Amino acid sequence: MKQLGKPTKKELSTAKSLVSKVNTAIVVSSLQEKAKPLFAKLQKITKITSAAEFDLAGQQAKMLKQLAAEAKKSRDEVVKPIKEGMNKAIEKIDELFRPFLLKVNDIDLNIKLQMSNYLEDSKNKKSKLDELYENSNMRISTYAQKTAELSVTSSKQGAQIRKVWEAVLVDKNKVPRKYLVPDMKMVEADLKAGKKVAGFSWEQVDHIVI
């Protein structure tokens, strides 16, 4: 008869994983059974017509949220060690790749900046060239040659210039009010501190918390 040896680490890990899956499935099944009557009652509610119904709906919804909190806790107990192990592995991999990727990113940003500066400079030179051509006796051939020297072409092997429509702010003082969004955090902080903010008031409003 073949003698059984000690289980390997891999076998132990597989066994633990199976036990964890079974336990998790049992917990989820149990929570689903507990929640079933609450789901049935709350899903039927399409309108609350009395204070008693309001109170009952709140109680039942709170019970359901307690079950959800229990489910989240059970889920976190299973997921947390897995995530910790994965995060450590990812951190080690990132440490290896980070210096290279950062260097590439820094160079990319610098080159794009220099290219943008060149395009802007070329645009200004082209504008001056057009003006000079209009107001002088510059020959067409000279104008065409200088224009060609300023022109930038796109290529699949290098940088590509694409014309993209986008909103460019040219005068913030002329922006219509309907496009201005108030900073609510700043407004609330100032009102809370006792300051007055035109167009706002500091009031208590009803918020439903279950």
Per-residue pLDDT of the chain (210 residues; tens, 9 = 90+): 445 566 676 656 665 666 667 788 898 999 999 999 999 999 999 999 999 999 999 999 999 999 999 999 988 988 888 899 999 999 999 999 999 999 999 999 999 889 888 888 988 999 999 999 889 988 999 989 988 888 877 777 777 778 888 888 999 899 998 999 999 999 999 999 999 999 999 999 888 889
143: Cβ–Cβ under 8 A, 6 or more apart, which residues? 129, 133
Domain span including residue 99:
19-159
Strand, helix or coil at 158? coil
Give a yes or no: residue 122 inside a domain.
yes
Residue 71 falls within a domain, yes or no? yes
Which residue blocks in the chain are alpha helix, DSSP H? 9-43, 51-134, 140-150, 184-192
Is residue 13 assigned to a domain?
no
In a domain, 185, yes or no: no
Output the pLDDT for position 10.
67
Predicted pLDDT at 5: 60
188 domain residue, yes or no: no
Domain annotation covers residue 115 = yes
Residue 78 in domain: yes
Instruction: Give the per-residue pLDDT at 202.
Output: 96
Alpha-carbon span 45 to 87, nearest angstrom: 43
Number of domains in the chain: 1
For residue 198, tell me if it sits in a domain.
no
Q: Closest Cα to residue 32, out of 79, 88, 80, 74? A: 74
Does the pTM of the predicted model rise above 0.95? no
